[in-house]
Structure 1
Amino acid sequence: IVTIAKLTKVCVLRVCQDKLCFGPTGPRATREARLWCEVSRGAFYQFNMEGVSEELNEIYLELTSEHLPRAVRNAGNAASLKLQLTNKRRPCLTVVVELASRTGHTHVMVHDLPVRVLPRTWWKEYPEPNVQVSDVSVYLPGLRILKSIVERMANMGENVLVEANLNGKMNLSVETDVVSIKSYFKNLGNPPKSALSVTQDRDPETMVQVWVENRKLLQFFEGQQINPTMTLCNILSNTLLHLVLVHEDVSLQYFIPAL
């Protein structure tokens, strides 16, 4: 929730039978970075939802992202946390946090977050992201190290060049009229499927690159608090930087368009 709030101001929460999806609020300019996050029902002790019919068994809500972290701020040591769609003069996402005290008593905090229920005729405007086949895919190095490097580069220039190849190498670089900085990473590894769509005559050492805004890349590293078990960097040459974080029942994708 904290990560989502740092990456987008307003999002659409799509409640499905088997997961929750947090996505963008609709068609945007192609130059804008976009978020897609999924939380499977396995992350919850209890998960109940019912749509309007078996064919339309989903619920779409538009909400202000920053309201969520405030509601769950004290939930770290909570006995339970409940999310409910309620109607309190207007539709709300109600967050119920049950806190246990040292004396054995419980203290319940209730937050009613206003939401906008999106009509079914609008659902097609909020599809799941269409992930294009990337030219190269590589596992990311430590995110703290990357964040530190990107922070320093952000002080040097507005844009950063991200490049990688099929031999597990990745470089980050920034250039201005007065300075040029480049960081090299090797032996990162490539996902097994990354080489399937590559032509036989392609040299694994060939670097695939994309220029992106340093501000958007830094926003991603500053916002993430998922502590992922797997991190991926997918590059569509000179078109898109696609970052993926996975941790148990949570997956987060961030799409940064090329300059």
Structure 2
Amino acid sequence: MKFRAKIIGKGSLDLFIQVSSTVARLVKVCVLRVCPDRMCFGSAGSGGLQEARLWCEVQQRAFQQFRMEGVSEELNEIHLELMAEHLSRAARSAVGASSLKLQLTHKRCPCLTVVVELASPLGRVRSVMHDLPVRVLPRRVWRDCLPPSLSASDVSIYLPRWRTLRSIVERMVNVGDHVLLEANLSGKMTLSIETEVVSIKSYFKNLGNPPKSAVGVPQNRDLESMVQVRVDNRKLLQFLEGQQINPPTALCNIWDNALLHLVLVQEDVSLQYFIPAL
């Protein structure tokens, strides 16, 4: 197995720093899946949706150099398990750097080596190296590292302004543990929380639905009917506070009383977060 990648330029470096920081805020241990055309970050542990799960993809074109050889020609992939905070800390050291290199190495144990090149005021290049211990995952557990396979959602809707949504959820966390999210195919969404003492509900309209959201919908379905899912308020807030990517497209998919699926899409990056219903 071999893997080597290089990032050059402020825009690409900033994007990788944002991605690694977001991953570290959402999971403690992550699985890094390296494929010929992309690099993926996923939640560690067995597959399934008993708890919130992450899946993030960074396309090969986000790197200026990207070479890899998997375990075989038929299975041209590499799966590594590592501490997400270790990678985030190494990436943050590349702020203001000229380049960042990633390489799979073996130094007493398998490592993901991160080399950051910093230019000094005198024009000299100073290199900072981080050796991050990793666990090479055997093929028998690869399937557990993939995102869940899901049928078409009951509702798909664009999210409101990020800052507004985060502010509302922050206030709701202080009221109760569970938040009810409802949405329909007419661009409407509500967030509500109710206790014995207080009831709070926020309304959004004209959010819009992705074009494909109506595919397969029965003709007799009422587009105003709401689909709902109740989730852990702190898990939702963790996602809203954790993402650093600031993508142009943010939406959520809802399976009625089953699952909340949050999706962020940028040119070279996509991030998905799955929160099971309570």
TM interval, shorter chain, is: over 0.9
What's the CA shift string for 1:112-169, capped at 9, x where partnerless? 0000001223323323331331100000111111111100000011100001111111
**Counterpart for residue 63 of structure 1:** 82
**Counterpart for residue 222 of structure 2:** 203
**Counterpart for residue 100 of structure 1:** 119
Greater fraction of residues in helix? 2
1:192 to 211, 217, 221: 211
1:19-34 matches, within 5 Å, as 19-27=38-46, 30-34=49-53
**Counterpart for residue 28 of structure 2:** 9
What's the CA shift string for 1:27-65, capped at 9, x where partnerless? 267431000000010110010001132101110101111
SS at 1:48 equivalent: strand
State whether residues 176 and 194 of structure 2, in contact with CA within 8 Å, keep that contact through their aligned partners in structure 1: yes
**Counterpart for residue 237 of structure 1:** 256
Measure the CA separation in 1 of the matches of 2:56 and 2:275: 15
Partner letter of residue 203 of structure 1? Answer: D
SS at 2:65 equivalent: coil
Partner letter of residue 78 of structure 2? Answer: I
Query: Quick check: 1:139 aligned with 2:158?
Result: yes
| TM-score, reference length from structure 2 | 0.91
Partner letter of residue 199 of structure 1? Answer: P
TM-align CA RMSD: 1.1
Partner letter of residue 50 of structure 1? Answer: E
Identity %: 69
Moved more, 158-167 or 49-58: 49-58
Partner letter of residue 202 of structure 2? Answer: S
| TM-score, reference length from structure 1 | 0.97
Shift of the alpha carbon at 1:76?
A: 2.1
Measure the CA separation in 2 of the matches of 1:209 and 1:197: 19
1:49 to 68, 72, 76: 68
SS at 1:200 equivalent: coil
Query: Quick check: 1:179 aligned with 2:201?
Result: no
Partner letter of residue 130 of structure 2? Answer: H
State whether residues 19 and 38 of structure 1, in contact with CA within 8 Å, keep that contact through their aligned partners in structure 2: yes
**Counterpart for residue 174 of structure 2:** 155
What's the CA shift string for 1:203-245, capped at 9, x where partnerless? 1111111000101000000100001110011000000000000
Structure 1, unaligned runs of 5 or more: none
SS at 1:219 equivalent: helix
SS at 2:239 equivalent: helix
**Counterpart for residue 276 of structure 2:** 257
Measure the CA separation in 2 of the matches of 1:176 and 1:45: 53
Partner letter of residue 233 of structure 1? Answer: C
SS at 1:49 equivalent: strand
Measure the CA separation in 2 of the matches of 1:228 and 1:47: 24
State whether residues 10 and 64 of structure 1, in contact with CA within 8 Å, keep that contact through their aligned partners in structure 2: yes
SS at 1:177 equivalent: coil
**Equivalent pairs, count:** 259
Measure the CA separation in 1 of the matches of 2:61 and 2:150: 24
Measure the CA separation in 1 of the matches of 2:250 and 2:165: 12
Measure the CA separation in 1 of the matches of 2:239 and 2:143: 27
1:75-94 matches, within 5 Å, as 75-94=94-113
